[in-house]
Chain A
Amino acid sequence: MTRIIQGFRAQGTAYLFLLPCLVILGALLSVPLYKVVEYSLYDNVIVERNPTFVGLQNYRDLLTDGAYWSASLNTILFTIGSVVGHIIVGTGLALLVNSDINRHAQTLFRSLLILPWIFTAVVVALNWQLLLNPFGVVNYALGQLGLIDEPLDWLGDPALAMWSLLVISTWRGYPFIMVSFLSGLQSIPQELYEAAEIDGAGFFAKFWHVTIPQLKPVIYGVALLDLIWTFQLFPLVWLTTGGGPGRATEVLSTMTFRFAFVDFEFSKAATAAVSILVISAAFTILYLRNETRKI
């Protein structure tokens, strides 16, 4: 105790400077977090003037709801598909824009390829809706190439909608991976590649035995971060398909919004939000452990 008091005396000023920040952060994070968990324990809130405490009933209802499991499966598919897509496209493009080409061309490509990340979800959703419309450019091009006989309803066919959404998500999210990997690639010592070349390694051998091992910490950290973001992604899905057709692209975040603002079932929404929170928290702990290890 004495040591704590002495420590505070020595560093008290620093703690006082931190206090406003800690109070604001505490209020912004703790209060909403507490309220969401609290709401999930009542029959319904906001629209109910005197809500009744129901304990874990909302959790029991959610876990026995087929629509919840269907949305969970869609969330897993969407998250894994998107993250894999981001990594594959992001890595490929990072390698391309890191290659030794004309410096002006390199800058131009780097600038152009980062553009999808700059657009808001509304712009991305509207553009892709137009591109994938039955009368859109994609159907026209595929028709001209003889790959399809009649236009496909990419976002309206239950068999195609999730795949289309993954393409859009990949397009939107690859620049973050590309930029992160690009900075990772630039920090790999050139001597390692030279040594590999002396040993007779070709492009793929250098990629597997030099690039990937050197990028591993970046890949792990960035992939986890992308996983956390994509898992709770809402605007892109809601604005592109609204979770449809049917519920073919319904994910947990859109389901939560539907509970809250379509059905006014705020306690159900809070329960679904807590389930997202638990899984996101698990990913976040993994991410933080990885970051701590680096330090």
Chain B
Amino acid sequence: MSEEDNVKLTCTLKAAVAAATLLAGTASAQTEIEWLQWFAAENTTGFYEALAEEFEATHPDIKVKLVTQPFGKVRESIVTDSAIGVGSDVLGLNMPWTAEFMKIGLLEPLDDYLARDTNSFATEDLVQAPIGKIEGHTWMVPLNAFPFVMHVNMQLVEQAGFDAPPSTWDELREQAIAIAALGEGTSGIGLPFSSQPPANGPILTFLPLLYTNGGRIMDGTTPNFDNPKVVETLHFLNDLNKAGAIAPGISSRTGGVDLEEFIAGRTGFLISPGVHAQAIEGRNADLDYVAAAVPNNGIEAYRVHGWELGLSSASRNKDEAWEFINFLLSKDVNARVAAASNALPGNLEALEIVGEGAGDVMQAQIGILAEHEPVEELRQAPNAVGSWSLMTEEMQSMLNGDQTPEETAANVQARWLDLIK
């Protein structure tokens, strides 16, 4: 090898070492944060992956790793991952999990983060239900929001002799009975009270009706299921059942079947999150269908639900994780997130963007959001997941004719208190 070659080789090696050092320096300066969620499992178009890349482009020092699981798996993963010390930084959350996760110490209080001047949003613009304080702190922020609505099959309503969706309990009873009387396998309304996991039928159907009756199941953070409003709402369901207005197979009917039966045009009404409009319109475009507020018994209220975000208390990169949450809640990004999930935005400043050119169903949801009272109680309910299993079992028993609404309310209360002992 000549001396010239030696010089060339040395220079090349030095350049390679310098480049490697530079790259290593860049790599070591980049912080990776994990985002555990189910959102990307429900939108397989690559939307959330693209969102992470968009964030990384403007934040080259932060890398976002999406950890996507089905909804049914996320709750147990958060707990078990945390127990073995491998928890994610940003957590996709569901409001009913709050009390359980707080008790375990999994969540980081967000008060200091929400008070930052550098935030891309104003706290007062966020949907308020998820950010209400528990034990003096805010634990999560809303990525999006779904009001519970009543989906209405207008063809069945009109066949039964009515020209508008029911707006009160009395109208709901009258129309549901009339639709069931049409025969040929039609039913007024379905109640998905199967014990099959997640066994959450009562919180999908019973709670929205209870809230429009002005009732609650919690007294602060204590279960208060055995009260007159709950009993009155249980009587309403029991009477509908006795009148033959409810689809048969209540105790084996899952939420999925309930939705499918509505889509197939066999039930007149479906109480569920407004986000189900996407599935209904997508799978049966011919269905003559509208979304309306859940019929009330004096109180115009809706059960508010949504996808939430929180910080893991065990995260070593909380500032970077918050930076990502801050990005997701910024007006334009949040509007796109809402559109991708066919929901309302968590940052209500983005509502006007979502509302532009939105269809009738979305407009109906925006109207409910603006005019009715939002209610969310399960956030502060101890053992919320266990509690709705108990509600399911006791309501099955009531609708099977084995116990009265009064006994049902008392049994749920006693078993719930026993569960949290």
Give chain A's interface residues, CB within 8 Å of chain B. Answer: 46-47, 49, 129, 132-135, 151, 153-158, 238-247, 258, 261-264
Q: A151-B248, A241-B195, A264-B79 are in contact. List 16 more A-B contacts (CB 8 A).
A: A46-B80, A46-B83, A135-B249, A153-B248, A153-B250, A155-B251, A157-B400, A238-B196, A244-B199, A245-B396, A246-B393, A246-B396, A262-B385, A263-B385, A263-B419, A264-B100
B399 to A: closest C-beta gap in Å? 10
Q: Which of B224-260 contact A (CB under 8 A)?
A: 247-254, 257
Q: Which of B339-394 contact A (CB under 8 A)?
A: 383, 385-386, 389, 392-393
B115 to A: closest C-beta gap in Å? 28
Residues in A with CB closer than 8 Å to B75 are 261
**A133: nearest chain-B partner, CB-CB:** B249
Q: Which of B102-138 contact A (CB under 8 A)?
A: 103-105
> A156 touching B250 by the CB < 8 A rule?
yes
B72 to A: closest C-beta gap in Å? 10
How far does the alpha carbon of A238 sit from the alpha carbon of B83 in the complex, in Å? 25
> Do A49 and B105 contact each other (CB < 8 Å), given the known contacts A156-B253, A245-B393?
yes
Residues in A with CB closer than 8 Å to B254 are 129
Residues in A with CB closer than 8 Å to B197 are 238, 242, 262
> B392 touching A244 by the CB < 8 A rule?
yes
Give chain B's interface residues, CB within 8 Å of chain A. Answer: 75-76, 79-80, 83, 100, 103-105, 185, 194-197, 199, 247-254, 257, 266, 383, 385-386, 389, 392-393, 396-397, 400, 419
A148 to B: closest C-beta gap in Å? 12
How far does the alpha carbon of A157 sit from the alpha carbon of B75 in the complex, in Å? 30
Residues in B with CB closer than 8 Å to A155 are 251-252
> A153 touching B393 by the CB < 8 A rule?
no
> B196 touching A156 by the CB < 8 A rule?
no
Q: Majority SS of interface residues in chain B?
A: helix
Residues in A with CB closer than 8 Å to B195 are 241-246
A150 to B: closest C-beta gap in Å? 8
Residues in A with CB closer than 8 Å to B79 are 46-47, 264
**A45: nearest chain-B partner, CB-CB:** B83
How far does the alpha carbon of A151 sit from the alpha carbon of B386 in the complex, in Å? 31
How far does the alpha carbon of A193 sit from the alpha carbon of B257 in the complex, in Å? 53
Residues in B with CB closer than 8 Å to A49 are 105
> A263 touching B396 by the CB < 8 A rule?
no
**A159: nearest chain-B partner, CB-CB:** B400
A262's partner among B250, B251, B253, B389 (CB-CB below 8 A) is B389
> B185 touching A242 by the CB < 8 A rule?
no
B202 to A: closest C-beta gap in Å? 13
How far does the alpha carbon of A263 sit from the alpha carbon of B418 in the complex, in Å? 12
Residues in B with CB closer than 8 Å to A153 are 248-252
> B400 touching A245 by the CB < 8 A rule?
yes
Residues in B with CB closer than 8 Å to A262 are 197, 385-386, 389
How far does the alpha carbon of A247 sit from the alpha carbon of B105 in the complex, in Å? 32
A246 to B: closest C-beta gap in Å? 5
> Do A156 and B251 contact each other (CB < 8 Å), given the known contacts A238-B197, A241-B196?
yes
B400 to A: closest C-beta gap in Å? 7
> A244 touching B393 by the CB < 8 A rule?
yes
